Structure 1
Amino acid sequence: MRPATAAEALHGLIRVRPHGWLASPLPTTPAAAAERLRAVLDQDHADAPAAGGPLRVLAARATAAVATVGEPPAAVLKLHADTGAYDAELLAYALVGHSPVLPSLLGAADASRSLLLEYLPGAFDWGAVDAPAAVIEAVGAVHAAPAALDAASAGALAPFRLDQLAAAPAWISDPGAWRTVIALCMRAYGPAHIPVGHLDLKPEHVRQRRGDGAVCLIDIETVRPDITGLVDLITLPAVLRQAGTPLPGAEVRELYRAATVRHGATWTTDDLCAALFAYQRATGLATLDGLAA
């Protein structure tokens, strides 16, 4: 049987947008996107690093435009077409943006729905012996990051604590299985933990920080509270295959479990397997990719 891709690993969670859902799409040609990004940079981020320098467009999509700023690049400017997507990325940074395995948020402007981010130039060395373990460690670190929220953020995000998530979200197909997931996550992380998940994991979203070479994960706009980090664990085997560094599902699970323990969780193998099976029942996911074997 052909192994699942990262997208297929999340079958059952992917939401298909209806045609015409985007009210104000962004220009999709590089020249037009560059013009829009330059106007936003000059208006909302004039004090940014290398703000007067050149822009190099990395993506020009109807939903988002992205460019590096300066030469050599000093920052990344990202413009969202949709307010919900912009707010979601801001929420992601409020939750986990202080983690050293993520790029820093340098600025944000609500009027233009734009964010200025740390530029991470270093390509990740997927050929290194410890590459899979390093990526899995970074994922575990992000999942633990909400435990280090400042008092103001912790108060504002209190409704997303595990002990407040008794009601299953609308996208859950089996509420009883979801309650099992939450109970097992609570045992591993404690009742005050906020269960973030849904990193946009793919090989090209792994970088190395300039100077210390630390592993970093980029493009975290899909991170949300309430979904739990299990969704990212389920994606990891497919991502490692795509990067040319496949590992058996059980080995991925144990590397992840050990990483979360180093960051304060108390997952046991039995509890993590039980949580994975319950998550599959709750969400309708098509595969666990050998993680609970």
Structure 2
Amino acid sequence: MNGRIGVLSARYTAAVFAVHRPPPEGSLVLKLHADPAAYAGETLAYAPLAGTAPIARLYAEGEESLSLLLEYLPEPADWSGPRMPAVLAERVAAVHTASLWLTGEAAEAMAGFTIAALQGAPAPAWIADPGAYGEVLAAHADAYGPDLVPLGHLDLKPEHLRQRPDGEVVLLDVESVRPDVTGLIDLVTLPAVLRQAGHELGPDQVLGLYRDATAARGASWTAGSLKSALRAYAAASGLESLHGL
């Protein structure tokens, strides 16, 4: 792999480098994990998301070196437009519903994490109230059907929204995505992220954007069912605040 290398970040968990190559090849990101579990988690996240959600493209992975080669996206998203809140909600919804479009080996690999499978299994150890967790899963089954894998826990922040040369907005950093955490935690984060980016939206506006974005991808949330699911999620997880939602 030829090209000038620059350090983007260096933490105890992972080091990220930019490999600058001239056109037509273009630049890449080389990510080196220090923890095998974190590497496995990130590669697992790409299984349902690659090709179905607006994330950085994965070009190659190296199991022995715990490394990934990713699309280099240095251009930050332009948050100034009035449509950006809807764009962010749509991008988040695309991740949350990505598993609905899985086929072949990816669908088989994720079969143990579907809503139906989770409803038949004990609640995870991090759940404080198993009864409330059951309500969350039931609400998701009503909204999406039993075959959804409830992906969530995006590391949402304004700097993690980047822009391709053609203007398409994509999400960075999916290593935190887990198949046993619903997208509701990301919905709780949305108002704070939008506020950081200069967009002040009320709770009903945020919920409306999310309902519209997920409805376009096959969901059937209502205002009431979404708020009930959020309350149940807070009880199940011990979350202290829903930030007004």
Same fold (TM over 0.5): yes
Of residues 113, 118, 136, the one that matches 2:89 is 136
- Could you say what secondary structure the match of 1:196 adopts? coil
Return 5+ residue gaps in structure 1 as ranges.
1-50
Q: Are 2:133 and 2:233, in contact at CA under 8 Å, matched by a contact in 1?
A: yes
- Matched with 2:46 is 93
In 2, distance between residues paired with 1:154 and 1:61? Answer: 33
Give 1:186's aligned amino acid.
A
1:143-183 C-alpha deviation (Å, 9 max, x unpaired)? 11111112211112111000111221110000000000000
Residue pairs, 1:62-77, within 5 angstroms: 62-71=12-21, 74-77=27-30
- Matched with 1:237 is 191
In 2, distance between residues paired with 1:271 and 1:183? Answer: 10
In 2, distance between residues paired with 1:100 and 1:221? Answer: 14
Q: CA RMSD in A?
A: 1.1
Give 2:108's aligned amino acid.
G
Q: Are 1:95 and 1:146, in contact at CA under 8 Å, matched by a contact in 2?
A: yes
Of residues 206, 223, 237, the one that matches 1:269 is 223
- Matched with 1:4 is none
In 2, distance between residues paired with 1:193 and 1:165? Answer: 10
Give 1:175's aligned amino acid.
P
In 2, distance between residues paired with 1:195 and 1:181? Answer: 10
In the alignment, is residue 218 of structure 1 matched against residue 168 of structure 2? no
- Could you say what secondary structure the match of 1:124 adopts? coil
Greater radius of gyration (CA): 1
Return 5+ residue gaps in structure 2 as ranges.
none
Q: Are 1:121 and 1:210, in contact at CA under 8 Å, matched by a contact in 2?
A: no
Please list every run of at least 4 consecutive aligned residues from structure 1 whose deviation after the TM superposition is greater than 3 angstroms.
none
1:3-33 C-alpha deviation (Å, 9 max, x unpaired)? xxxxxxxxxxxxxxxxxxxxxxxxxxxxxxx
Of residues 175, 178, 182, the one that matches 2:137 is 182
How far residue 99 of structure 1 moved from its aligned partner, in angstroms, is: 2.5
Q: Are 2:154 and 2:176, in contact at CA under 8 Å, matched by a contact in 1?
A: yes
1:100-124 C-alpha deviation (Å, 9 max, x unpaired)? 4111110000111000001123211
1:18-58 C-alpha deviation (Å, 9 max, x unpaired)? xxxxxxxxxxxxxxxxxxxxxxxxxxxxxxxxx21001101
- Could you say what secondary structure the match of 2:97 adopts? helix
Taking structure 1 as the reference length, the TM-score comes to 0.80
How far residue 245 of structure 1 moved from its aligned partner, in angstroms, is: 1.4
Of residues 93, 96, 108, the one that matches 1:155 is 108
Q: Are 1:146 and 1:193, in contact at CA under 8 Å, matched by a contact in 2?
A: yes
Q: Are 1:250 and 1:290, in contact at CA under 8 Å, matched by a contact in 2?
A: no
- Could you say what secondary structure the match of 1:165 adopts? helix
Which deviates more, 52-61 or 63-72? 63-72
- Could you say what secondary structure the match of 1:139 adopts? helix
Q: Are 1:54 and 1:69, in contact at CA under 8 Å, matched by a contact in 2?
A: yes
In 1, distance between residues paired with 2:177 and 2:68? Answer: 16
In 1, distance between residues paired with 2:111 and 2:53? Answer: 23
